[in-house]
Amino acid sequence: MKSSNKIILIISMIVLIVASVVILIQNKKTSEDRISLVEDSKSILMDAKESFQESKENSIQNMEFSGVFESFTESKISSETQGKIIEMKVELGSYVSKGQVLCKIDNTMLKLQKNSLDIQIEGMEKDVKRFEILSNSDAIQKVQLEKAEIGLRSLISQRAILEEQIEKSIIKAPFSGVITHIFNDLGTFANPSMPIMQLSEVSKLKFVINVPESDLNLFKLDSKVTLDVESLPDLKIEGTVIYAGSKSNMGNKFPIHFQVNNVDGNIIKPGMYGRINLKESKL
């Protein structure tokens, strides 16, 4: 009886051991299957991500935008005084430096008025000196000296105004650039409401494109792009994003402005067409 119980116990233990081994093997296989599934999922996600990134890069690389070069700074030059243009120092297409004389307005009447004031000031200065002596000796009331001094200061102020007007009759370039338009010729009458000429900066240009909303995020401030000039196929220049349109224009597109330094000889002219290929750029 005891021997039979012992055999049953041994068999039961063997069965338990075998069952445990089978369960461990099954659990290991399940874990391995799960790990394999996770790794396969990661691989699929990585492949999808790489495929998307590659597709995106290919899409960007194939994108081109056309635009036009414009003057970075442009100004219509007017006279601050009225008068006839008596000297024209430049002509259409002239390159001028900052501070260079562009033209002169007739200031003959202003100079005559200044000469008259100079005479009055000279006489008033003598009166003030004389009144000072008389006032110190109580020969006149001090109020007379004060009136003379006030009159002298008024004349000096008037002369300063005339000198400023005479200076403004000589029109100078506010910055370096090229004369791109002349509105009034020699001998015509100039006044502050009418421009005489137009001055455009050419050493530095602005390149402008218009992009749809979906492409606006491609252009970040201070990012660099490579530009091609349509009429100069061998020339490549760099542009820097200085403005990314915050409001769409009439065509529901957003303007993007790039600052461009002109090349030697300023061969790129305002109005020329250009192109950006994002494949060659540093966005």
> Do 233 and 157 have their domain in common?
no
52, part of any domain: no
> What pLDDT score was predicted for residue 202?
87
177 in the same domain as 109: yes
Q: Are residues 3 and 40 in the same domain?
A: yes
Same domain, 38 and 131: no
**What span, in angstroms and rounded, lies between the C-alpha atoms of 85 and 262?**
33
Q: What is the mean predicted confidence (pLDDT) over 246-258?
A: 87
CB atoms within 10 A of CB 11: 10
Same domain, 33 and 134: no
Task: Assess if residue 154 is contained within a domain.
Answer: yes
User: Are 167 and 108 found together in one domain?
Assistant: yes
Residue 218 token pair: 């491609």
Write down which residue in 196, 229, 261 finishes a domain.
196
Q: What is the pLDDT of residues 146-187, one digit of tens each?
A: 888 999 999 999 999 999 999 999 999 999 999 999 999 999
Whether 205 and 67 map to the same domain: the answer is yes
Q: Which residue has the higher pLDDT, 12 or 88?
A: 88
Residue 102: band (very low, low, confident or very high) from pLDDT cuts 50, 70, 90: very high
Q: Strand, helix or coil at 92?
A: coil
DSSP per-residue codes, 177-218: EEEEEE-S-TT-EE-TTSEEEEEE--SEEEEEEEE-GGGGGG
Same domain assignment for residues 250 and 186: no
**Higher per-residue pLDDT: 220 or 1:** 220
pLDDT, position 196 = 96
Q: Supply the pLDDT for residue 15.
A: 61
Are 235 and 140 in a shared domain?
no
Residue 140 lies in a domain: yes
Work out the burial of residue 244: count CB atoms within 10 Å of its CB; fewer than 13 is exposed, 13-18 middle, 19 or more buried: middle
Answer yes or no: pTM beyond 0.75: no
Per the structure, the complete domain to which residue 86 belongs is given by 82-196
Q: Is residue 149 part of a domain?
A: yes
Identify whether 105 is part of a domain. yes
Q: Which helix (H) or strand (E) holds 273?
A: strand 273-277
Judge whether 171 and 103 are in contact, CB under 8 Å: yes
Domain boundary among 160, 180, 196: 196
Average pLDDT, the chain: 83
Q: Are 184 and 105 in contact (CB under 8 A)?
A: no
Q: Are 239 and 207 in contact (CB under 8 A)?
A: yes
How many structural domains comprise the chain?
3
Which residue shows structure tokens 């004031």? 117
> Are 162 and 229 contained in the same domain?
no
Q: What is the dihedral of CA 182, 186, 191, 192, to 10 degrees?
A: 40
Instruction: Return the higher-pLDDT residue of 15 and 111.
Output: 111
Q: Is residue 53 part of a domain?
A: no
The confidence band for 100, taking pLDDT boundaries of 50, 70 and 90, is very high
Whether the CB-CB separation of 182 and 219 falls below 8 Å is answered with no
Which amino acid is it at 63? Answer: M
- Does residue 111 share a domain with residue 187? yes
Segment 22-30 shows an average pLDDT of 61
What distance in Å separates the CA atoms of residue 252 and residue 146, rounded to the nearest whole number?
69
CATH of the domain at 106: 2.40.50.100
Q: Are strands 195-200 and 232-244 parallel, antiparallel or unpaired?
A: unpaired
Instruction: Name the least confident of 5-19, 31-45, 182-196, 265-279.
Output: 31-45
As a whole number, mean pLDDT of residues 12-37 equals 61
Q: Are residues 205 and 159 in the same domain?
A: no
For residue 273, the domain's CATH number is 2.40.30.170
> How distant, in Å, are the alpha carbons of 2, 6, 9, 10 from that of 13?
17, 11, 6, 5
pLDDT tens readout for residues 31-88: 555 555 545 555 544 554 454 444 444 444 457 899 999 999 999 999 998 999 999 9
The length of the chain is 283
Scan for tokens 């402005």, then name that residue: 257
Query: Is residue 228's pLDDT more than 70?
Result: yes
Domain end residue (candidates: 196, 211, 238): 196
